[in-house]
Structure formats: C-alpha cells, structure tokens
Amino acid sequence: MQSNPDISTGLYHGLEAWHVRTPGATAVISVFGGQLLSFIPEGQVDLLWLSPNRAELPTPIRGGVPVCWPWFGRQGQSADVPAHGLVRTARWELLQANQSDDGDVELQLAPAPCIDLGLRLQMQLRIGRQLHQQLTSENIGTAPVTFTQALHSYFHVGDASRVEVDGVDGLQYLDKYDDYAQARLQQGPWSLRDPRDPGRSDRIYTGAGGHYVLRDPALQRQIGIRSTGSQTLVAWNPGADAAAKMADVGDGWHDYVCLEVANAGPEQITLAPGARHRLAQTLTVAPL
C-alpha cells in the first residue's frame, strides 16, 4: 500500500466532504455523518442517489449511504432519540488513507466512541471499480451490548417502478405497512409492482445475507450487492403518496430504491466485552 492517494477536501452540494479519485472510480464522503454521497465507477452514472432538496444541517442527509448505528429506526429506544442512531449526524474523522498498487484507495474513518453505550465504530472504504464498505463495531465496555445497524443505501435508478431485485425469492419478510404483524413469504424478485401492496415498500427480510442483484432496465445496468455479517435486508421506497409529504423526496421517489444490508428487527447483534462485529457490503455494476 502507498501513502499518497488522490484525496482532497471541499464542498459537495454544500457539504464538507472528502473527494477521492482512483483510476477506476470517484467517490465523495461527507464529514457530517461519515456518509458516502457519491460513487461513480468509470464510464457509469452515479450508483447513489442524493436528494437535490437537502434540508439544512443538522437534519440528516437524504441519500447516499447513511450509517444507521447503534440502532436502526428507533428499535429498542424511546421516541425522543434520533431516528437511525447517533453517528449519522456526528462529525467523522479520516484516520488513515492508502492506495494499493492497483490504484484502489482505502480509507479508515470513525466518529467519536459512544462511551456511555460502551461501543466504538470504525468504517473502512475501499474505492475502485467496485466499492467495499465495512462497519466494525467493538464493545469497549465491561458488559454485553446489544445493537442494531444498517448501511442505508439509496441506489440511483432510471425508474423505480421498473426495477426488480433478485436474491430475495423464498425469504420471509416483515412489513411495516401492516405493523410487522406476521411474517410473509417473498415470491419471485422484489419490485414495486407487488400486487399485495403495489407502489410502495418498507420490508425487513429476515434470514437474509449473501448476494442481491438490482436490475435497472431504464439505465440498462445491474448493481450487485454482496453482504457479509448481515442477517437482514431492508427494501424501502415510500411511493408517490408518502413521498409527496417528504420535502426532501417529492418526485424523487422515481429515482431511487433503498436496499439496506442490516441487522435489525428480530436479528440483533450482542457483543461481549472486547468482541467485534463486522458488517460489510461490496457493490459492483455491469451491463444489463
């Protein structure tokens, strides 16, 4: 590994960010939230969607890959805590940056430790023609700690209503739109055309993990998502009616699909003192 990667700092859509350039891709990571805002493999349009109607900070950034940690939503928490955890509105630091012989850039980033919870988080990004993103959670306290988490990826698509996602057929899911009342069985690929509840989705797939493929006919590409350390996949798009009530989404619901590798719902992580857990995703793109 070399120690002189092409990294600069500057504004991106008004946000303080690190800009990374490699022979195979460019990427942008926000200092606020440690949030991956853009990943553009050479010859592609951005794999990630970022709202053009961003609210002023410290409102969380809508788009990119928010880091939800140490809880997903407000799971197991009171109603007055920040949704999706503490670190997506925290200031992150760049701890280390190196470049491999093949030109990929590897970054280590972290927010301040959550001393009161006995948890510490670091994120590793490896940026090249594919992107590898890993969260490492460590129990730095003296008692076991249970938490939930997600990499809340907003994938940029040409038309969300035409997208299909392979890799979920036969999985059980819990549906927020029926208050997670019962486990349901996924039949075939995921899409917004599901006749059970067409036009919207907020599902937690359990027993998940492995490999998913987002097929996007409008952009004529497929995005591969390979996960490790994940037991859960969240598939979310609010649809037209709910999005119209969201100032930072609106008509933008057409332009993204959220697929979130996670540990949430019934699948939580418990760490003994000194133990670590790694949640990771690797993103690739290919012609459809």
Distance (Å, rounded) from C-alpha 73 to C-alpha 200? 18
Give me the sheet containing 67-68, strands edge to edge. Answer: 67-68, 149-156, 256-263, 232-237, 201-206, 172-175, 184-185
Q: How crowded is residue 11: how many other Cβ atoms within 10 Å of its Cβ?
A: 9
Contact yes or no for 69/81 (Cβ under 8 A): no
Distance (Å, rounded) from C-alpha 148 to C-alpha 84? 9
**What's the token pair of residue 114?**
């959550």
Q: Which residues pair with 139 in a beta bridge?
A: 119
* pLDDT at position 2: 58
- Torsion angle of the four alpha carbons 42, 156, 81, 150, in this order, in degrees rounded to the nearest 10: -60
* pLDDT at position 194: 95
- What residue ranges of the chain have pLDDT lower than 50? none
CA angle 18, 21, 27 (to 5 degrees): 55
Contact yes or no for 54/61 (Cβ under 8 A): yes
Question: What domains are there in the chain, each with its CATH number?
Answer: 6-287 (2.70.98.10)
- Backbone φ, ψ for residue 242 (5° rounding): -70, -40
Residue 191: alpha-carbon gap to chain centroid: 19
Distance (Å, rounded) from C-alpha 145 to C-alpha 161? 40
Ramachandran bin of 221, using left for φ above 0, alpha for ψ from -120 to 50, beta for the remaining angles: beta
- Backbone φ, ψ for residue 253 (5° rounding): -60, -25
Distance (Å, rounded) from C-alpha 42 to C-alpha 127? 12
* pLDDT at position 3: 61
Contacts of 196 (CB under 8 A, 6+ apart): 184
